[in-house]
């Protein structure tokens, strides 16, 4: 898999959040519908105006709290980086400083990114020197036609080194 390891300082996002079940893959059906709604109701234009960067980067952020895990629920954000205060109807959230494995995904959405997720969990994590660390998972979407076969985006997974983590367990 095409990936890199990145140390990233914490940053704030502003966006919209919904709670989804990941029981029986419900999130794989419902999250694309959430994106469609945000694109069609004008929220994406509002988010684009809030983006800090010269190039719009939209973030899909999966976060599972200790209370949500037993219920197989997660928060899913559609957001942009912004260190200000959120406008009405949006919230802010602080992404912590973490070490990340960043995976490139190429292809039409949502199939390409869902295949990338599957490969990360089925192939990369079990065979790497890392394990999933505490923290959110992030999808980073850039400009372009996300239905095109050559559309590129990224998946960011928080990681800890297996050897480092074993040291802390002693």
pLDDT tens for the chain, 170 residues long, are 889 999 999 999 999 999 999 999 899 899 999 999 999 999 999 999 998 765 568 999 999 999 999 999 999 999 999 999 999 999 999 999 999 999 999 999 999 999 999 999 999 999 999 999 999 999 999 888 999 999 999 999 999 998 755 544 43
Omega before 110 cis (within 30°)?
yes
Range of the domain at 49: 3-169
CATH of the domain at 82: 3.20.80.10
Q: Burial letters for 32-48: b for 16+ Cβ neighbours within 10 Å, e otherwise?
A: eebbeebeeeebbebbe
Number of domains in the chain: 1
């Amino acid at each position: 898999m095409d990936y890199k390891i990145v140390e990233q300082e914490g940053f704030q996002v502003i966006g919209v959040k919904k709670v989804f079940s990941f029981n029986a893959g419900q999130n794989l059906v419902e999250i694309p519908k959430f994106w469609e709604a945000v694109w069609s109701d004008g929220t994406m234009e509002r988010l684009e105006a809030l983006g800090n960067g010269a190039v719009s980067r939209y973030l899909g952020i999966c976060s599972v709290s200790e209370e949500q895990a037993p219920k197989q629920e997660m928060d899913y954000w559609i957001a942009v980086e912004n260190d200000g205060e959120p406008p009405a109807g949006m919230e802010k959230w602080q992404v912590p400083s973490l070490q990340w494995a960043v995976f490139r995904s190429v292809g039409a959405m949502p199939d390409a990114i869902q295949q990338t997720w599957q490969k990360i969990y089925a192939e990369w994590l079990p065979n790497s020197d890392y394990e999933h660390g505490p923290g959110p998972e992030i999808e980073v979407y850039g400009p372009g036609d996300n239905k095109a076969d050559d559309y590129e985006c990224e998946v960011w997974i928080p990681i800890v080194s297996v050897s480092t983590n074993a040291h802390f367990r002693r």
